[in-house]
């Protein structure tokens, strides 16, 4: 070890870095959960014996990294993790949740085999009436509902789905493992939670939600229609494209 390395090791950590490290550790360890209010600037100034400018600099840096959010006149709060999903990809919700560092849980709410209704046929673009499997499930990120899934599966295209209970595995990854899809369509919209969706997601009626609807086909045969409803504060859709695609 040379003299310069020794000097660097002996350099004391700055107050700015200490505040950053202390708050980051409390958030990442789970001691301060999402929504927890960070002490006010004057409280941190007193705790660390430093200037308000030093505290403000540390909080601003934490906000830029996405660990906290600063609200005018209210203070700073631990930010709720927000998942990102590529608009054109078929992704596994379990992976989304685990990428946020939160425990994942899946729950089947209803499972019904029935003759397809005119509404089912319209959603799936089925040309003829046939049996369908209607599923309703919830995906959790920690204790909080992350997403409500409402899905129709054509039992003409995927007859083996009739024998699957879907109690241990969500329908999305099951379908990916059993049916090669050749085309998919996404529709994205915003909505307010009605009473049923609000109860399922644990939000207030009328709360903003993001809805992603998807249809998939296998060799031109409709396979499934699914509607994912997310609380608006928990999900972000991302698309990346090149200039040649922006015409």
pLDDT in tens, 114-165: 999 999 988 888 888 889 999 999 999 999 999 999 999 999 999 999 999 9
d(CA 202, CA 137): 14
Task: Specify the pLDDT at position 194.
Answer: 94
Q: What is the pLDDT of residue 173?
A: 92
CB-hemisphere CA count at 13 Å for 119?
4
Three-class DSSP category at 110: strand
Return the percentage of the chain with pLDDT > 90, whole number: 48
Alpha helix locations (H) across the chain?
3-10, 15-28, 41-48, 52-65, 93-99, 118-124, 171-178, 195-201
- Other beta carbons less than 10 A from residue 107's beta carbon: 12
Q: What is the pLDDT, as a whole number, of residue 83? A: 52
**The pLDDT of residue 225:** 95
DSSP classification of residue 80: P
pLDDT over 80 (residue 10): no
Whether the per-residue pLDDT at 226 is higher than 70: the answer is yes
pLDDT at 218: 84
At 1, the pLDDT band (50, 70, 90 cuts) reads very low
What pLDDT, on a 0 to 100 scale, did the predictor assign at position 247? Answer: 38
Report the alpha-carbon distance of residue 94 to residue 90 in Å, rounded: 12
Q: Which tens digits make up the pLDDT trace of 36-90? A: 899 999 999 999 999 999 999 999 888 887 788 888 878 899 887 655 454 445 6
Q: Which tokens hold the place of 77? A: 């709060």
Question: Rounded to 5 degrees, what are φ and ψ at 41?
Answer: -55, -45
């Amino acid at each position: 070890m040379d003299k310069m390395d020794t000097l660097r090791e002996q350099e004391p950590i700055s107050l700015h870095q200490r505040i950053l490290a202390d708050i980051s550790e409390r958030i990442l360890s789970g001691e301060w959960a999402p929504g927890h209010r960070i002490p006010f600037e004057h409280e941190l100034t007193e705790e660390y014996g430093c200037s308000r400018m030093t505290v403000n600099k540390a909080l601003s840096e934490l906000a830029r990294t996405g660990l906290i959010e600063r609200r005018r006149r209210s203070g700073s709060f631990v930010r709720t993790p927000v998942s990102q999903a590529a608009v054109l990809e078929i992704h596994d919700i379990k992976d989304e949740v685990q990428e946020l560092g939160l425990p994942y849980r899946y729950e089947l709410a209803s499972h019904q085999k029935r003759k397809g209704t005119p509404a089912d046929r319209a959603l799936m673009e089925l040309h003829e009436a046939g049996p369908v499997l209607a599923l309703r499930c919830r995906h959790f990120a920690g204790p909080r509902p992350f997403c409500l899934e409402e899905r129709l599966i054509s039992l003409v295209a995927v007859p083996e789905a009739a024998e699957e209970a879907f109690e241990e595995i969500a329908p999305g990854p099951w379908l990916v493992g059993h049916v090669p899809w050749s085309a998919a369509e996404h529709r994205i919209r915003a909505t307010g939670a009605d009473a049923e969706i609000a109860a399922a997601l644990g939000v207030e009626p009328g709360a903003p939600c993001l809805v992603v609807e998807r249809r998939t086909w296998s060799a031109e045969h409709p396979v499934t229609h699914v509607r994912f409803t997310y609380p608006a504060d928990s999900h972000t859709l991302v698309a990346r494209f090149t200039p040649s695609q922006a015409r």
